[in-house]
């Protein structure tokens, strides 16, 4: 299988890349920087920004599946940055998949897209989105998630949205600083 991982140089992206390589898949990443260790492991690196539609389309060419992991996960920052990376970047990933006949898109969302300020135990994907968000990150991820779900089945593209909770482990540099 030929797989693209957007944000493949980040913590979660690298974990996905590692598992894909272990399975014997051909892996390409789209990332802002170069990652020589991944290139030496056989990963094709495309350097670019998820907000650049042409670069995202180039990265999607020839792929069977796209794991869209690139995101701006923070509490503080400018709306424009969150919207550009989290929503416009997701639109670019969907457009790249559609332009190049990619069959599957796996979107990395967040449980925060449904957080309404109350304890949420035992809920499933039918739980509604809240009317307001506490910061820009979940607001833009929710808009992107809805976009991905709405794209399911369009021109043969199958999409899914995952909401992993508290992703951490070896090489994490957010929860456990170096």
Instruction: Please identify which of the residues 83, 127, 137, 147 carries the catalytic annotation.
Output: 137
Residue 116 parent element (H or E): none
CA 84, CA 89: separation in Å to the nearest integer? 6
CA 178, CA 107: separation in Å to the nearest integer? 28
Q: Catalytic: 83?
A: no
3-class DSSP state for residue 5? strand
CA 51, CA 87: separation in Å to the nearest integer? 9
Given strand 26-31, what is the order of strands in its sheet? 44-47, 26-31, 2-6, 65-68, 104-108, 158-162
CA 174, CA 62: separation in Å to the nearest integer? 33
Report, as residue numbers or ranges, the catalytic residues.
Answer: 137
């Amino acid at each position: 299988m030929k797989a693209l991982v957007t944000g493949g140089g980040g913590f979660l992206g690298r974990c996905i890349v590692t598992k894909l390589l272990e399975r014997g898949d051909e892996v390409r990443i789209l990332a802002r920087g170069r990652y020589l260790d991944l290139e030496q492991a056989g990963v094709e690196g495309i350097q670019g920004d998820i907000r650049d539609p042409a670069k995202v389309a180039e990265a999607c060419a020839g792929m069977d599946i796209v794991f869209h992991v690139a995101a701006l996960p923070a509490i503080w920052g400018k709306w424009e940055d969150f919207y550009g990376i989290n929503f416009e970047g997701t639109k670019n990933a969907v457009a790249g998949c559609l332009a190049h006949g990619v069959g599957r898109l796996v979107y990395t969302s967040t449980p925060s897209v449904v957080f309404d300020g109350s304890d949420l135990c035992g809920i499933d994907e039918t739980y509604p989105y809240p009317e307001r968000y506490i910061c820009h990150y979940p607001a833009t991820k929710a808009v992107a998630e809805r976009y991905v779900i709405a794209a399911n089945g369009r021109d043969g593209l199958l999409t899914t949205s995952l909401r992993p909770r508290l992703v951490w482990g070896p090489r994490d540099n957010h929860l456990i600083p170096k």
